[in-house]
Amino acid sequence: SGMRENLSYEQFGVAVRELAQTIADDGYRPDVVLSIARGGVFVAGGLAYALDCKNIHLVNVEFYTGVGTTLEMPVMLAPVPNAIDFTDKKVLIADDVADTGKTLKLVRDFCLDAVAEVRSAVIYEKAQSLVKCEYVWKRTDEWINFPWSVQPPVTPSGEAPAVNREAL
Ligand code: 5GP
């Protein structure tokens, strides 16, 4: 399974503040942070606090089924946010990683028609990503272990532990 980039919760705390600082220094003041669930929710929460933006939206996208194994194309799951909510808004899309970039492209294309401006912020961007995010904390081409998904889901104490596909 090759080398891994490991991010701890402590390093994530530093990363999200530094990412927010880059956005603030660039003069971008989003009206809405749009998170891509589930990994993007952590990033969006940290960025929204650090940028003093009180408006967070969420979109669910399904793509990865395991390490490097994907559906053919990412799909937005219901309920899809109402793009009318974003009319004339400056939107910041937040996600954990742009890998192929297909997930971010799907969400960005969804926003493009309606909004005043859309930019994207990620903790990690891989070289192959077809979307070049405006704000990136770190570049890597390794598989990333994120603190929220590196461990399997909990099971009730005494029951058999769950298997984490990402840890295989
Ligand atoms: P993309 O559409 O850019 O290929 O992938 C986006 C989503 O796939 C990410 O939000 C993340 O959930 C998952 N993903 C892609 N690459 C990685 C990785 O290296 N590590 C982990 N844990 N998830 C990844």
φ/ψ (deg, to 5) at 110: -60, -35
Substitution candidate for ligand 1 out of 96, 138, 148 with most atoms within 8 A of CB:
96
pLDDT digits 0-9 by tens, 94-128:
999 999 999 999 999 999 888 999 999 999 999 99
φ/ψ (deg, to 5) at 71: -70, 170
The tokens describing 124, both together, are 């990690």
1 or 13: which carries more pLDDT confidence? Answer: 13
How many C-alpha atoms does 125 have within 13 Å on its Cβ side?
19
Ligand 1 atom nearest residue 146's Cα: 22
Assembly ipTM: 0.97
Q: Looking at ligand 1, which residue's alpha carbon is closest to its atom 13?
A: 64
The rounded Å distance from CA 143 to ligand 1 centre is: 8
Please name the helix (run of DSSP H) or strand (run of DSSP E) that holds residue 104, with its range, or none.
helix 102-112
125 lines ligand 1 (CB under 6 A): no
Query: What is the pLDDT at residue 60?
Result: 95
108 lines ligand 1 (CB under 6 A): no
Mean pLDDT of 134-156: 96
Query: What is the pLDDT at residue 158?
Result: 87
